[in-house]
A and B are shown apart, each in its own frame.
Chain A
Amino acid sequence: DIVMTQSPLSSPVTLGQPASISCRSSQSLVHADGNTYLSWLQQRPGQPPRLLIYHISNRFPGVPDRFSGSGAGTDFTLKISRVEAEDVGVYYCMQATQYPQTFGPGTKVDIK
């Protein structure tokens, strides 16, 4: 199974400041078809998850452009350029290159 790790696991940030979350996979997420099936999800308190980013760096429709994704192979990053109050929650990376689909442990973002 592909193991996903994230760091930090907790990220207190100041409103208006940037935040960055790292996600690493235990093996390359490049699929035989050439695509990398790495996505990022946000889960606000008491809510189901919400898709933010797919294919490493593609913002899902309706996602603010302060969210961006980058990376390749086994190392990926989610960045929030200026954190807003509504960004509080837990962020998960997810790989679907190979079964079983696996998630990172989550990174909790809250306001200092």
Chain B
Amino acid sequence: EVQLLESGGGLVQPGGSLRLSCIASGLRFNYYAMNWVRQAPGKGLEWVSTISNTGVDTHYPDSVKGRFTISRDNSKNTVYLQMDSLRVEDTAIYYCARLLWEFRAVDIWGQGTMVSVSS
């Protein structure tokens, strides 16, 4: 069974940092691009980042560019999201998800990890 398990969320003050991790099991991790997607409380979905299967290519929306960094360690089946200079508006559930590149569709999602940014 394919599973994604996020960790690393928590409460942090504005301006602080967190690193999220997502460990994958049941799939050939190095075959797949990966996404981070977030959902603020009671709100819709927002794409946060994509990393290619090799880790060479990364993409971000303007809302997090320069503050968030996605990376991966294929030897550990893990993708990371380093979040710096956090803002109150970054408060959300952060989902790790597999991106099927040939379809540009996100088919497997983790359960998410909650990030709260508050003073």
Main secondary structure on A side of the interface with B:
loop
Query: In the complex, how many angstroms separate the beta carbon of B107 from the nearest chain A beta carbon?
Result: 5
Give the size of the chain B interface in residues (CB under 8 angstroms).
24
A-B contact pairs, 24 of them (CB 8 A): A1-B61, A37-B104, A39-B103, A39-B105, A41-B45, A41-B106, A43-B45, A49-B37, A49-B45, A50-B109, A51-B106, A51-B107, A54-B103, A54-B107, A55-B105, A58-B103, A94-B106, A96-B99, A99-B50, A99-B59, A100-B61, A103-B46, A104-B44, A105-B44
Q: Which of B35, B99, B103 has the most CB of A within 10 A?
A: B103
Q: Which residue of B lies closest to A49 (CB)?
A: B109
Give the size of the chain A interface in residues (CB under 8 angstroms).
27
Q: Which of A35, A49, A97, A99 has the most CB of B within 10 A?
A: A49
Q: Which residue of A lies closest to B4 (CB)?
A: A48
| Cα-based distance from A105 to B50 in the complex (angstroms) | 20
Asked whether, in the complex, the Cβ of B107 is within 8 Å of the Cβ of A60, the reply is yes
- In this assembly, does A67 line the interface, its C-beta being within 8 Å of a C-beta of chain B? no
Q: Which residue of B lies closest to A102 (CB)?
A: B47
| Cα-based distance from A90 to B95 in the complex (angstroms) | 16
Q: Which residue of B lies closest to A90 (CB)?
A: B44
- In this assembly, does B110 line the interface, its C-beta being within 8 Å of a C-beta of chain A? yes
| Cα-based distance from A35 to B104 in the complex (angstroms) | 10
Q: B58-86 vs A: 1/0 string, CB under 8 Å?
A: 01111000000000000000000000000
| Cα-based distance from A53 to B78 in the complex (angstroms) | 27
Residues of A53-99 whose CB lies within 8 A of B: 54-55, 58, 60, 90, 92, 94, 96-97, 99
User: Out of B37, B105, B112, which one reaches A51, CB within 8 Å?
Assistant: B105
